[in-house]
Copies of this chain bind each other. A is one copy, B any other.
Amino acid sequence: MNWYQDSLIDEGVIISSRIRLARNLKKYPFPIKINNEQAKVMIEEAKGSIINDRTVLSNQFRFYQSESLSQIEKLSLLENHCISPEFINGNMNRGLLLKNDESISIMLNEEDHVRIQTISPGDNIDMAWDLADKTDNLIEEILEYAFDQDLGYLTSCPTNTGTGLRASYMVHIPMLEKSEQLTAIVQSIGKFGMTVRGIHGEGTQPLGSIYQISNQMTMGKSETEIIEVLKNVTVQVIERENIIRESTIAQQKEELQDQVYRAYGILAHCRKISCNEALSLLSQLRFGYITGLLELDKPKTNIYQMMMNIQPGHIQMKAGKNLSGAERDRLRADYIRGAL
């Protein structure tokens, strides 16, 4: 079972909890300076630190060379948050270690030599942190990280130097998004060193009312302190979302109910649909199921999983070939009808 098949991801505002650790190996130039030969050796060494280990954890990883991945595979991995948009760009030698349930991915030679990322379903940031910490130790047993006694872990971008940690929650906040309170909340979160971003991180658009709340600075605080602030800030966001939900449902229940049932009706019957429209309607469906406005049996597939499965990479992965936009729109509608 992959992490996103857990029913926890469709139970509340929080979809998933994520930890990312940025690390670099002491004996290699940073990725911006590394040449292709050095990169190959570095990737092999980092890969070996996991794969050659004999623990239960390390046996669950598979290794992928970036050049051996097709564009569709890369897109699909990006949509699942296993790799970053940057991993796809350029012709750099890159590697990916992926745990079989996709809860841990380790990008090699992305912006930093090693980027450990762990995801847990629902509100489970401590579990994600624990996984990331264990993975980090596994590598550190074998390889020496670039570390400075005063600064902490050294990274390509100074904003990551220190703990190298980015802790984040992926949240679904359709009511807050519609309200005029989101901008104010983003601002007040900033004061705590936290930020709200789109679905694929920095500079990306929010889709399906899904946002990432994460820390901006990684220096000057311990990992546990950063995670604590993130938790506190996110509790506030959830509370605001829930307050608006309750008051809107109290005032316009029929209106909202009609909206979610129409979203269901369109998804369950349409013959073609764009990715953006589908994400927006699935967002309404998730809202409908969680609030109880949609009084129908939940589909077997999580709504969030459906949100990933309808994206261009996934649709083309399933078809096993490149598809035109029109073909994707048709197969997307077929998939959704089947899933509902």
A residues 239-269 touching B (CB-CB < 8 Å):
254-255, 257-258, 261-262, 264-269
Interface size bracket, A side: 10 to 19
- What residue in chain B is nearest A268 (Cβ atoms)? B265
Q: Is the interface of A mostly helix, strand, loop or mixed?
A: helix
- The smallest C-beta distance from A62 to any residue of chain B, in angstroms, reads 39
Tell me if A270 and B266 are in contact (CB < 8 A).
no
Q: Is A40 an interface residue (CB 8 A)?
A: no
Give the distance to chain B from A9, nearest Cβ to Cβ, in Å.
Answer: 25
Copies in the complex: 2
The answer to whether A272 has its CB under 8 Å from any CB of chain B is: yes
Check if A298 is an interface residue, CB within 8 A of chain B.
no
CB–CB B254/A261 < 8 A: no
Determine if A330 and B254 form an interchain contact, defined as CB atoms under 8 angstroms apart.
Answer: yes
Chain A 295-332 interface mask (CB, 8 Å, partner B; 1/0) = 00000000000000000000000000000001000100
List the B side residues contacting A268 at CB < 8 Å: 265, 269
How many Å lie between the Cα of A255 and that of B271 in the bound state? 8
Chain B residues closer than 8 Å to A257, beta-carbon distance: 271
Question: Which residue on B lies nearest to A333, using beta carbons?
Answer: B258
Which residues of B sit under 8 angstroms from A261, Cβ to Cβ?
Answer: 269-271
A254 touches B269 (CB 8 A): no
With beta carbons under 8 angstroms apart, the residue of B262, B267, B269 that contacts A270 is B262
A262–B258 touching, CB < 8 Å: no
Are B271 and A254 in contact, CB atoms less than 8 angstroms apart? yes
Nearest to A255 among chain B residues (CB) is: B272
Least Cβ–Cβ distance between A129 and chain B, in angstroms: 42
B272 contacts A254, C-beta separation under 8 Å: yes
User: A265 near B270 (CB under 8 angstroms)?
Assistant: yes
State the 8 A-B residue pairs at the shortest beta-carbon distance, nearest first: A265-B269, A265-B265, A258-B271, A261-B269, A258-B272, A257-B271, A265-B266, A262-B270
- Residues of chain A touching chain B, judged by Cβ–Cβ distance below 8 Å, are 254-255, 257-258, 261-262, 264-272, 326, 330, 333
Please list 27 pairs of residues, one from A and one from B, whose beta carbons are closer than 8 Å in the complex, sorted by A's number.
A254-B271, A254-B272, A254-B326, A254-B330, A255-B272, A257-B271, A258-B270, A258-B271, A258-B272, A258-B333, A261-B269, A261-B270, A261-B271, A262-B265, A262-B266, A262-B269, A262-B270, A264-B265, A264-B269, A265-B265, A265-B266, A265-B267, A265-B268, A265-B269, A265-B270, A266-B266, A268-B269
